[in-house]
Copies of this chain bind each other. A is one copy, B any other.
Amino acid sequence: MNIAEFEQAVESFQKSKDYREPIAFGIARVDRARSDPNRILQATFAHINYKEDYQSAAIYLNALRAEPYNIESAELIAPVSDRFIGEALRWFEPLIDGGEKRENVEVLLSLAKIAKERALADYRAVFLFADEAPKTLEAVYLKLYALSAGKAALRSLNLDGAFGILPNVAWIDGKPIDLEWLRQNEIELKLRGEFPNVDFVDKFPRYLQHIIPSDNTRILDGSKVRFGARIAPGTTIMPGASYVNFNAGTLGASMIEGRVSSGAIVGEGSDVGGGASILGVLSGTSGKPIAIGKNALLGANSVTGIPLGDGCVVDAGIAVLEGAKIAVEDKEAIEIAKLNPSFRVSGEKTQIVKGADLAGMRGVHYRVNSQTGQMQAFRSKREIKLNELLH
């Protein structure tokens, strides 16, 4: 088979009833509970595909045909057999000879090597055909991979019920151990001095357990970023009070010294100062996840409960919440309106607006007057520089 024949064969299979275009797929290795090997605790994908490499998807599916499978459902989890590997590699042969390096082929070549050494009981081919609420741990992990790898946009995937699917486990040196097994063996392990050093207990692993950051990304403490977060190249995560939850993160180079709650997104060039909090959907907001624009600055220990547009500044130590009353002087209101046409200038010398009214507006500087205690909004100076770049 040459490459032209390969492509024709793939195309032909893609038109068959046995093929359905997946939104994501990949091959995973699973970790099992020691107290019950049928319980899957973690799925590690060697490589994940998200709306890409449909050729490989076709070859994988084709190679699974020896066993009946179901592509009607949103998820397909199939065991990986020697036969599957052999069949898929046979199809991929023209690519291997051609020297093109394709991750989905590399995965098979690695598996073929491993298959010579051990049984393949712990490997799964995983396909997602639709973005429904996940039903299996493998599907949850595939979605978290798509988010953390930056292939799927944050908040774009359906993760309803993921908490219920992921088991709560002890993480020891990067591996999940079931709490039940620890309990069953506690006395023996402790008396022998072999009780393991549990790093943490959670349903989610850490980002660095599954993702290799880019060369210009720094994560000074692995505990600070949950798997499922997106950390864009150039981001620095400091170890003080910072935290980035799953389905949250940064879109470009940025400095994170504060909390980026689940669902929160920080734009390129922004600085989340030491101890600053971006509130999440579960705490203190109206349930709408918060986005911070580009080149924004959240001062140390500030709190933001509203979305902020590009170039906003929140002074250190202040809390901008939806219900906060904020004074805007006339000339500042005019400047803010220039950037944000939806901002209504009342014409009063000082108008009082709510935090929610400023949600998402660009170039706003939030401050508390240190002599009157009044929270005030100004046109930020930061934004001016930014606009030159943007326009």
Contact = CB atoms under 8 A, between A and B. Distances in A.
Contacts of A221: 199-200, 223
Given A29-B191, A173-B197, A371-B375, 14 more contacts: A114-B192, A168-B218, A200-B221, A202-B220, A243-B274, A261-B274, A274-B283, A275-B275, A302-B317, A315-B321, A316-B319, A325-B369, A370-B374, A371-B373
A241 B45 CA distance: 31
A100 interface: no
A26 to B, nearest CB: 10
A238 interface: yes
Interface string A164-181: 000010100111000110
A87 B368 CA distance: 69
A119 to B, nearest CB: 14
Contacts of A300: 259, 277, 279, 283-284, 303, 319
A317 B318 CA distance: 6
Contacts of A193: 29, 31, 44, 122, 175
Interface in A104-144: 106-107, 110-111, 114, 122-123
Contacts of A196: 174
Contacts of A336: none
A82 interface: no
Interface in A212-255: 212-224, 226, 238-243
Nearest to A181: B212
Number of copies: 3
A186 interface: yes
Interface residues of A, number: 100
Contact of A197 (B179, B209, B303): B209
Nearest to A318: B317
A238 B200 CA distance: 10
Contacts of A213: 179, 201
Interface in A147-201: 168, 170, 173-175, 179-180, 182-183, 186-188, 190-193, 195-201
12 contacts: A44-B193, A46-B186, A110-B188, A175-B197, A200-B222, A240-B259, A273-B277, A277-B300, A283-B300, A318-B319, A325-B369, A371-B374
Given A31-B193, A174-B196, A299 B316 contact: no
Given A198-B208, A373-B374, A114 B275 contact: no
Given A47-B187, A218-B201, A299 B284 contact: yes
A52 interface: no
A179 B29 contact: no
Contact of A217 (B31, B201, B212): B201
A281 interface: no
B103 A187 contact: yes
A265 interface: no
Contacts of A371: 325, 327, 352, 373-375
